[in-house]
Structures are given as structure tokens and as C-alpha cells.
């Protein structure tokens, strides 16, 4: 079963509160999502492998650590996942970025795939799949299916807010995928929105309705 990690760092929780606030406008919402994504990227990269190198300090020769150069891939689920990418790349600028386009059919709530473009060396990369919202779980499950179908074998899912229903669906469908979230909310409402959530992430990021 995939593990669930809640990043409850005070800075993340503080910024998430203003992301949730209906009074927060598009510009500030986008900036806050970017900042929280950077903070979450800091947490999710804690286990990156290191290697020893020799470095000459002004005082003497020393053995020191650098990243071992593991190949990473960041894959936003379009559209809302795009809002998290730049914040993550601030910390891991060498990561390749793939894109998976999915939208939820408003009536059935099932995901419809409309675009996929991924780095060529998929099998060798560790992927971080990102989307601000894990609601019914349909979009995340479909995006992981899409990555696996093309050869990905190391995938983590990172989002801002998850509903318990979505976590369960993703864990059931993909027990090998760990889930990293800033908050686990109460439930879904009858329209499939997360309660209390933040509303429609894509619309709030891009000022659409």
C-alpha cells in the first residue's frame, strides 16, 4: 500500500490557509501555490542520494557530499498542475518536465486524456506527478496509468489538498505510488469538490470560470 505523507511544516500550513481563502485573488493565489510547491519540493527531495567528492576549501582538502545525479522527472497534470512546476524547478532545475493533459468530465467526473508528452528516458527517471487537488482520485489514477503504460516504474504523487476518497482510490489502484500532501481534508461534496478545499484550482490559478 502506498504511504501518505502530510507535509505539515508551519510555513506550508500558513500559506495553504491563504490559498484556501476565497478572498485571495488570482495573482496572490498563483504566487502562494508557487511558494508552497517549493517548500513541498524541499521535503520530497529529502531522500535524494548523495555521493562523496573531494573539495579544496580555503583551509584544506575535505571530503564532502554532492547530489549523486539521480534522474528526476516532474509531470504536472494539466491544467492546474502547471501552477506547481516552477516552484519545484527552483530546487531541482535539472529535472525534465513531462505533461499529461486531463480534465474531469463535469457530469461523470471521469478523467478525459487530451495530451501526453514525456521525457524519452522514462524507465530511468524517478517521477513526481503533481496536481494541486486529489478529489475522486480519477485524474491521478489515469495519469499514473498513462506514465506506467509508457514505461515509468518510479512514481510519487504530490498535491496540495487531498480528500480521503481520492487517497483510497489512488492507493487501491497504484499501491506502489506514495502520496505527498499538504493537507488531508474532510470529504467530497455532491459535485466532487473537496470540502473545505480551495474551490476549483485551475480556475483560481488562471482566473477562469
> Under the criterion CB under 6 A, does residue 138 sit at the interface with ligand PRP?
yes
What is each CA distance from 116 to 75, 109, 146, 167, 202, in whole angstroms?
A: 10, 20, 8, 23, 18
CB-nearest residue to ligand PRP: 202
The smaller minimum CB distance to ligand URA, of residues 122 and 179, is found at 179
Binding mask 147-186 for ligand URA (x = CB under 6 A): ----------------------------------------
Q: Is 95 annotated as a binding residue?
A: no
Helix (H) or strand (E) holding 12: helix 10-20
Question: Based on CB atoms, which residue is closest to ligand PRP, 72 or 163?
Answer: 163
Q: Is 104 a catalytic residue?
A: yes
Q: Which residue in 136, 146, 154, 171 binds ligand PRP (CB under 6 A)?
A: 136
* 193 forms part of the interface with ligand URA (CB under 6 A): yes
Annotated active-site residue 203? The verdict is yes
Quick one: which of 170, 178, 205 has its CA closest to 4? 178
Cβ closer to ligand URA: 129 or 135? Answer: 135
Residues 6+ apart with CB under 8 A from 87: 33, 34, 35, 36, 37, 38, 41
Residue 134, annotated ligand binder? yes
47 as an active site residue: the answer is no
State the Cα–Cα distance between residues 20 and 24, nearest whole angstrom.
8
Q: How far apart are the C-alpha atoms of 129 and 177, rounded to whole Å?
A: 10
* Ranges within 99-118 binding ligand PRP (CB under 6 A): 102-104, 109, 111
Verify whether residue 108 is a known catalytic residue.
yes
- Active-site pick, 17, 21, 52, 108: 108
d(CA 47, CA 23): 37
Q: Are 189 and 181 in contact (CB under 8 A)?
A: no
Q: Report d(CA 122, CA 1) in Å as an integer.
A: 23
Q: Which is nearer to ligand URA, 2 or 202 (CB)?
A: 202
Grid cell, residue 7, equals 507535509
Residues in the annotated binding site for 5-phospho-alpha-D-ribose 1-diphosphate: 79, 104, 131-139, 200
Q: Applying CB under 6 A, which residues contact ligand URA?
A: 80, 133, 135, 192-194, 197, 200-202
Amino acid at each position: 500500500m502506498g504511504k501518505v505523507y502530510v507535509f505539515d511544516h508551519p510555513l506550508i500550513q500558513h500559506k495553504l490557509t491563504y490559498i484556501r481563502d476565497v478572498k485571495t485573488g488570482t495573482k496572490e493565489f498563483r504566487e502562494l501555490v508557487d511558494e508552497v510547491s517549493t517548500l513541498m519540493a524541499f521535503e520530497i527531495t529529502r531522500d535524494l542520494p548523495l555521493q562523496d567528492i573531494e573539495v579544496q576549501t580555503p583551509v584544506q582538502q575535505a571530503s564532502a557530499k554532492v547530489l549523486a545525479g539521480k534522474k528526476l522527472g516532474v509531470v504536472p497534470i494539466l491544467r492546474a498542475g502547471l501552477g506547481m512546476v516552477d516552484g519545484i524547478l527552483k530546487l531541482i532545475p535539472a529535472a525534465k518536465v513531462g505533461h499529461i493533459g486531463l480534465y474531469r468530465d463535469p457530469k461523470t467526473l471521469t478523467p478525459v486524456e487530451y495530451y501526453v508528452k514525456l521525457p524519452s528516458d522514462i524507465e530511468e527517471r524517478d517521477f513526481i506527478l503533481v496536481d494541486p487537488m486529489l478529489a475522486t482520485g480519477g485524474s491521478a489514477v489515469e495519469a499514473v496509468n498513462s506514465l506506467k503504460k509508457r514505461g515509468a516504474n518510479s512514481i510519487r504523487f504530490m498535491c496540495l489538498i487531498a480528500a480521503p476518497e481520492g487517497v483510497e482510490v489512488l492507493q487501491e489502484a497504484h499501491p506502489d505510488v506514495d502520496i505527498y500532501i499538504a493537507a488531508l481534508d474532510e470529504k467530497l461534496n455532491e459535485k466532487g469538490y473537496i470540502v473545505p478545499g480551495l474551490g476549483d484550482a485551475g480556475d483560481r490559478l488562471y482566473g477562469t470560470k
